[in-house]
Amino acid sequence: MKILVTGCCGYIGSHTCVELLNHDYEVVGLDNFSNSKKEVLDKISQITNKKITFYEGDMLDEHFLESIFKDNEISCVIDFAAYKAVGESVEKPVEYYINNVSSVLTLLKVMKQYDCKRLVFSSSATVYGNPVEIPISEAAKVGRTTNPYGTSKLFVEQILKDLYHSDPSWNIVILRYFNPVGAHPSGLIGEEPNGVPANLMPYISKVAKKELTCLSVFGNDYNTKDGTGVRDYIHVVDLAIGHIKALEKLLKDECGISIYNLGTGVGYSVLDIIHTFELVNGVKIKYKMVNRRKGDIAVCYSDPKKAKEELGFVCKRSLEDMVRDAWNYEKNKKL
Ligand code: WQD
Atom number of ligand 1 nearest to Cα 293: 33
The rounded Å distance from CA 299 to ligand 1 centre is 11
pLDDT in tens, 194-222: 889 999 999 999 999 999 999 999 999 99
Q: How many helices (H) and strands (E) does the chain have?
A: 12, 14
For residue 111, how far is its CA from the centre of ligand 1 (angstroms)? 33
- pLDDT (average), residues 211-237: 98
* Atom number in ligand 1 closest to CA 229: 34
In the annotation, is 149 catalytic?
A: yes
CA angle centred on 270, ends 267 and 274, rounded to 5°: 115
pLDDT tens, residue by residue, 257-305: 999 999 999 999 999 999 999 999 999 999 999 999 988 889 999 999 9
Cis omega (within 30 of 0) for bond into 135: yes
Most informative mutation of 134, 176, 293, 299 for ligand 1 (most atoms within 8 A of CB): 293
Residue 253 clears pLDDT 80, i.e. is over it: no
pLDDT tens track for 58-78:
999 999 999 999 999 999 999
Q: Please state, in angstroms and rounded to a whole number, the distance separating the CA atoms of residues 97 and 94.
A: 5
**257 CA to centre of own chain:** 19
Task: Taking residues 165-184, report their average pLDDT.
Answer: 97
Please tell me the residue having the least CA distance from ligand 1 atom 36.
Answer: 199
| Nearest atom of ligand 1 to the alpha carbon of 273 | 32
Q: Which of 25, 142, 30 is nearest to 79 (CA)?
A: 30
Are 309 and 303 a contacting pair, CB within 8 Å? no
Q: How confident is the model at residue 254 (pLDDT cuts 50, 70, 90)?
A: low
- CA–CA gap between residue 67 and residue 48 (Å, rounded): 26
Tens digit of each residue's pLDDT (9 = 90 or more) over 302-331: 999 999 999 999 999 999 999 999 999 999
> In angstroms, what is the span from residue 245 Cα to ligand 1's centroid?
26
* Ligand 1 pocket list (CB less than 6 A): 84, 86, 124, 126, 177, 179, 198-200, 203, 215-218, 229, 231, 270, 293, 296
Residue 230 alpha carbon, nearest atom of ligand 1:
34
Phi, psi (degrees; rounded to nearest 5) at 186: -70, -20
Residue 301 CA to ligand 1 center (angstroms) comes to 12
Q: Which DSSP letter does residue 24 get?
A: T
Choosing from 25, 96, 149, 177, the catalytic residue is: 149
First-residue to last-residue Cα distance in the chain:
36
pLDDT in tens, 100-128: 999 999 999 999 999 999 999 999 999 99
pLDDT at 293: 92
